[in-house]
Amino acid sequence: DIVMTQSPDSLAVSLGERATISCKSSQSVLYSSNDKNFLAWYQQKPGQPPKVLIYWASTREFGVPDRFSGSGSGTDFTLTISSLQAEDVAVYYCQQYYDTPYTFGQGTKLEIK
Amino acid sequence: QVQLQESGPGLVKPSETLSLTCTVSGGSISDNYWSWIRQPAGKGLEWIGHIFPGGSTNYNPSLKSRVTMSVDTSKTQFSLKLNSVTAADTAIYYCARDHNTGRYFDFWGQGTLVTVAS
């Protein structure tokens, strides 16, 4: 299985400040034939299912605010929230879909400082 | 807009079979893979497996010996059976749609809590 490891486990950021979450995979999720990284980011608020924010490592899902961005390639990825809003309080997960079983990171809990 | 809704018993006895159904509305069930994902309370997400309406399935090896998935296109439903359950199978179970071009999950059900207890 591809192991996904996120850091930190929890993060407190002031409103309007930048939040950065890291995700590392135990093997590359870059598919060389199409040069795409098979990596997605999700946001999960309490009592709700996860919601996809980013796919192909850096493509924002329709309707997701542009303060959310994804970057990275191969085994190292980052989710950045450029200016934290109160509604961004949630747990964030990365997921690889390069190979089955599809696997998720353990989650990063984002709070307001 | 595609919508998914899980249904099934919220309480299952140890050693028995967990059975859940996901009803899809607002779109075709025939053109995508459909997944089951679970989340123990306060913990992370575990992909259980997925099914394509043509019959193709892929299960997580950690659960493969206990999992069966099926699909009923006439009812736009797909189902999960997990046998020989234990307390470790207590979780919120989500159904979700695999995106066509990449197996990320673009639509999710609200989830249903299944508790394994006698």
Query: pLDDT, tens digit, for every residue of B30-86?
Result: 999 999 999 999 999 999 999 999 879 999 999 999 999 999 989 999 999 999 999
Query: Do residue A100 and residue B46 have CB atoms under 8 angstroms apart?
Result: no
| HSE value, Cβ hemisphere, 13 Å, CA-based, for B2 | 23
Query: Do residue B44 and residue A95 have CB atoms under 8 angstroms apart?
Result: no
**Chain A contact probe: residue of B1, B103, B106 with most A CBs at under 10 A:** B103
What are the beta bridge partners of residue B37? B47, B94
By CA distance, what is B93's nearest residue in A? Answer: A49
Query: Do residue A100 and residue B108 have CB atoms under 8 angstroms apart?
Result: no
Residues of B in contact with A52 (CB under 8 A): 104-106
For chain A, which ranges sit under pLDDT 70? none
Rounded to whole angstroms, the Cα distance separating B58 from B48 reads 9
Rounded to whole angstroms, the Cα distance separating B21 from B95 reads 9
